[in-house]
Amino acid sequence: MIQDTRNDDRDSICIVAVFRVMKKVLITGNIGSGKTTLCKRLSSSLNIPAYHFDQIAWQSGWKRPSPEERDAMTKQLMEKEEWIIDGVSEQLMESADTIIFLDFPRWICAWRTLKRNIQCRFRTRPEMPAGCPDYKHLFFIARVIWSFPSRQNPWILEAMNTMKHGKHVIHIRSNKDWRQLLMLNEQIHIESYDPAWASKFVTEKKKIEDTIAPWMEGGIHHVGSTPVPGLSAKPIIDIMAGVKNLEEARACIPLLEEIGYCYHPYRPYMHWFCKPSPAHREFHLQLMESSHPQWHARLAFRDYLRAHPETAEEYATLKKELAGKFRDDREAYTDAKGKFVESVVQKDRDT
């Protein structure tokens, strides 16, 4: 059936299940619907190469390749074992195991197109061939945005309905649906420090130890903001567990699911889980090799904040500011904290 992402926890869990098996993903929709942004984010999360159909459909200077050239490049892409691509292509739709249709109103697509041009200073976007700034093809772009719902939507929906028995098909109709696809629908909420966070970690640590002890190396640690006394934080306990070998630790996934953890492919250097559900999280769990640089960076960040209350206070102020700015976008909130986190880790190295 066509998956409609509008039913909270049940659909969130279904999407996580799709993430586990998707290998060839087509993200389709109107110009300005957010195809490229979603393509890049899914590529980063799933560690699957990202491609952009505009690089097949266009050549430098807004010139069209010959049909033979375009078909050859499309076929070459289709033969790869894994890919995520954004664009409109019936060939790729047939080859994909997962189709994501971003179905937004014209005005949203037009606004996003204008916004991305401002962000690029009206230069050629990175995902386009050289010499293809939008402003030089403005009439064509405006015409496509306006006509897409009447000319393209019907055949896309018909094709999706025809292919629904052999593929994962996800129909995104709003920003809320888009965020839910990436499990970003829960608003960012910062709370004052709660001493109970430490005891919650201790209880959960015991459950995890009892479940995955044979694969562990390096211990289980309370990381992030909640282990820092006095620091305001999202009321989610971040747990980092060391493993000897990340590939061998895949055997832990079904075992952790038995104690309530939902697995989600996130970064190539970790296995990431949340509990009790993607939409309502109380715990995040990262399985990571204890020799990885990110392992040491997370511990260094926590320890530096514990030892330097003034830096912890500065971090709390930043988080509250970013929570207001990115309340509905968990990934943007996390990314915006990145420079501060890196600077603290560097300070720890220098001391």
Instruction: Tell me the per-residue pLDDT of 108-165, one tens digit each, with 9 for 90 and over.
Output: 999 999 988 887 777 888 888 888 888 888 899 999 999 999 999 999 999 888 876 7
Task: From residue 24, give the alpha-carbon distance in Å to each of 42, 82, 153, 170, 262.
Answer: 12, 5, 21, 14, 23
Instruction: Enter the CATH code of domain 2-181.
Output: 3.40.50
Q: Per residue in 96-109, pLDDT tens?
A: 999 999 999 999 99
Helix (H, G, I), strand (E, B) or coil at 276: strand
Which sequence spans correspond to the domains of the chain? 2-181, 196-350
Collect all residues with Cβ–Cβ distance below 8 Å to 254 and sequence separation of at least 6. Answer: none
Q: How far apart are CA 68 and CA 74, in angstroms?
A: 10
Report the predicted TM-score, pTM, of the whole model to 2 decimal places: 0.53
Q: How far apart are CA 10 and CA 202, in angstroms?
A: 29
The class of domain 196-350 in CATH terms is: alpha beta
Helix (H, G, I), strand (E, B) or coil at 171: strand
Task: From residue 298, give the alpha-carbon distance in Å to each of 72, 131, 133, 238, 293.
Answer: 46, 42, 41, 11, 9
Q: Per residue in 330-350, pLDDT tens?
A: 667 777 888 899 999 998 888
Neighbours of 221 (CB within 10 A): 20
